[in-house]
Amino acid sequence: MTPPGTPAQAPERPPENPSATAAPPKGRPAQRTRQVRELGVLLAVAVLITATWLHNPGFLSAQGVRDLFLGATVLSVLAVGQAMVLITRNVDLSVGSVMGLSAFGTGILFVTFPGLPVPVAMLCGVAIGAVCGLLNGALVTTVQVPALVVTLGTLYAFRGINHWWADGGQVNAHDMPAAFLALGRVSLLGVPLPAAVAIATVVVVGLYLAHYRSGRELYAIGSNADAARLSGIPAGRRVLTAFAVNGALAGLAGVLFAARYGTVDSTVGTGMELQVVAAAVVGGVAIAGGVGTVYGAAVGAVLMTTITAALPIWQINQFWHQAVVGALILAAIGLDRLLALRTARKLGGGGARGA
């Protein structure tokens, strides 16, 4: 008991958690480095477009700008989904096959069910992709097989299903309703509708990853999956969700492809998987997981498509396109390593000074 006349002492405050107070500053150097990386890719896009325009002013004509927008649409949507998977320290090599399966599935629905409402067919195309993504995610999370092996297998499996389904045939523009094909031609405030859909996709997924707990947990899983599980994060469920969303976005890309080109067969999307991974990595999404944004992945996709469009204008052999893409991937991986070492030195120096 406190003797009379003695002022009551305030209860002792529990010691502060040093890791909690130190956590915010630790993320800032990495975040600034990542922003500089993404701005660097954006600057490369601007320099390439400007140089090509000076070489050939027709490159930025009204039709040229429209072609640039449309050219980046499909790859940007695929890169956004791939970024979510890469952030969890996984990879999906089947996105090209999923896109092709969804594109053909959307087209064949119009042939099989004439008069089918366009929104229903589009949703079915997205659903095909989501089912494929769920299958990939279930195999990765339940069978505990590396994603690289699983999705390499499903790449061929989905492509085989598409070949069996198509049976050597194709769906042509006259088999699809005019309202569906118009989606690839109309514009919204001067922006082609497919490009507007891609931009909206990037923004929505970017906001989800940045501001929602389940989105931030994907970064925790990619940084250290065991620590994430110990902290109560449902890692398996989050990885499954990332694969499902990636599949759905691949399905959306297939629908946009069918609406733009009007002709689909079993070869749609062949080889797209490497372009998608390259776009995400060049845009700053680390193969090692836990780092990157969908904005950077989208900018990487724009850079890739701009290179593809610019090479013929510079009269450079298309063979060099693959060489340039390979060089960009190697440069991006090397830069990621350098930035990681630099950030680690900064954090180590800050910790030493704080001690």
CA 3 to chain centre: 68
Residue count (the chain): 355
CA distances from 225 to 75, 116, 128, 217, 255 (A): 29, 45, 29, 10, 34
CA distances from 355 to 30, 125, 274, 317, 350 (A): 21, 57, 46, 57, 9
**What are the tokens at 5?**
């006349």
- Structural contact between residues 295 and 207, judged by C-beta atoms closer than 8 angstroms: no
Tell me, what CATH number does 328's domain have? Answer: 1.10.3470
In a domain, 194, yes or no: yes
Q: What is the pLDDT of residue 33?
A: 65
In a domain, 26, yes or no: no
Maximum Cα–Cα distance across the chain: 97
User: How much is the CA Rg of the chain, to the nearest whole Å?
Assistant: 24
In a domain, 18, yes or no: no
Q: Which alpha helices (H) appear in 212-234, and where do they start and end?
A: 213-223, 225-230
**What are the tokens at 128?**
């095909």
Domain that holds residue 51: 32-336
Q: What percent of the chain is helix, strand and coil (3-state, nearest 5)? A: 75, 0, 25
In a domain, 214, yes or no: yes
Q: What is the pLDDT along the chain (355 residues), one digit of tens a residue?
A: 445 554 444 444 444 333 333 333 345 555 666 777 788 888 889 998 999 999 998 888 888 888 888 889 999 999 999 999 999 999 999 999 999 999 999 999 999 999 999 999 999 999 999 999 999 999 999 998 899 999 999 999 999 999 999 998 999 999 999 999 999 889 888 889 999 999 999 999 999 999 999 999 999 999 999 999 999 999 999 999 999 999 999 999 999 999 999 999 999 999 899 899 999 998 989 888 898 999 999 999 999 999 888 888 888 877 787 787 788 778 877 777 777 677 677 766 654 444 4
- Structural contact between residues 253 and 77, judged by C-beta atoms closer than 8 angstroms: yes
In a domain, 345, yes or no: no
Rounded-to-integer distance, Cα 240 and Cα 245, Å: 9
Provide the whole-model pTM. 0.85
In a domain, 99, yes or no: yes
In a domain, 249, yes or no: yes
Question: Total structural domains in the chain?
Answer: 1
Give which of 273, 252, 245 is closest to 97, Cα–Cα: 273
Q: What is the pLDDT of residue 20?
A: 34
What 3-state DSSP class applies to 10?
coil
Rounded-to-integer distance, Cα 166 and Cα 253, Å: 19
In a domain, 7, yes or no: no
